[in-house]
């Protein structure tokens, strides 16, 4: 029986972003190709950012509400949940007057670009895959901006993207 608690297995996520607002191209231009994922104002998503998303986890970057709807690449989580300071800044779009810096309501993580897919894996393509029928982002009315992804889904999407060895 191993004494040392085994390291938590890497988990997979999908983060949505409106491409007009912040696309993977924006991320690619950041210093160190790293950004903080701010502005999430939904409790379910907040809970995942605060409690579940860990350093080393992998993330699908999904473009929502823009064309083409697609998974456009992947990222690595480089900093786990910490308070989203934009909630305290009146000049910010996602300012929340009810959020208290002493007891923050909203959280964010930092992610770093791993790779942009050569071609986006479009929503239409995803929908054609029988083995992805249960993928959360494809469900009707799926509004969560932070979603868990299974390892099978992670691999299947890489295959569709023409990436042989997911990083």
Partner DNA sequence: GCCAACGTTGGC
Chain residues that interact with DNA, rule: CB under 7 A:
16, 18, 41-44, 64-65, 69, 123, 127, 137, 140-145
With respect to DNA, which residue has the nearer C-beta, 144 or 156?
A: 144
First to last CA, the chain: 30
With respect to DNA, which residue has the nearer C-beta, 96 or 112?
A: 96
Q: How far is the CB of 44 from DNA (least distance, A)?
A: 6
With respect to DNA, which residue has the nearer C-beta, 47 or 78?
A: 47
Q: How far is the CB of 150 from DNA (least distance, A)?
A: 19
Residue 134: CA atoms inside 13 Å, Cβ hemisphere, count?
A: 8
Report d(CA 88, CA 99) in Å as an integer: 7
Report d(CA 167, CA 151) in Å as an integer: 12
Q: Is 20 left (phi over 0), alpha (psi -120 to 50) or beta?
A: alpha
With respect to DNA, which residue has the nearer C-beta, 27 or 137?
A: 137
- Provide DSSP, 34-57: EEE------HHHHHIIIII--TT-
With respect to DNA, which residue has the nearer C-beta, 16 or 158?
A: 16
Comparing CA positions, the residue from 24, 16, 10 lying closest to residue 137 is 16
């Amino acid at each position: 029986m191993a004494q040392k608690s085994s390291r938590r297995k890497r988990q997979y996520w999908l983060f949505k972003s409106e491409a007009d607002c912040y696309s993977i191209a924006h991320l690619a231009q950041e210093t160190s190709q790293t950004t903080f994922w701010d502005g999430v104002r939904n409790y379910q998503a907040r809970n995942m950012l605060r409690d579940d998303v860990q350093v080393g986890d992998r993330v699908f970057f999904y473009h929502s509400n823009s064309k083409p709807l697609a998974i456009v690449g992947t990222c690595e989580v480089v900093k786990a949940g910490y308070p989203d300071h934009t909630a305290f800044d009146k000049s910010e779009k996602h300012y929340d007057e009810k959020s208290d810096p002493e007891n923050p309501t909203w959280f964010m993580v930092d992610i770093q670009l791993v790779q942009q897919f050569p071609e986006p894996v479009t929503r239409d393509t995803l929908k054609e895959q029988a083995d992805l029928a249960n993928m959360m982002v494809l469900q009707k009315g799926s509004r969560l901006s932070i979603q868990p992804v299974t390892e099978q889904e992670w691999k299947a999407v890489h295959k569709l993207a023409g990436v042989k060895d997911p990083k």
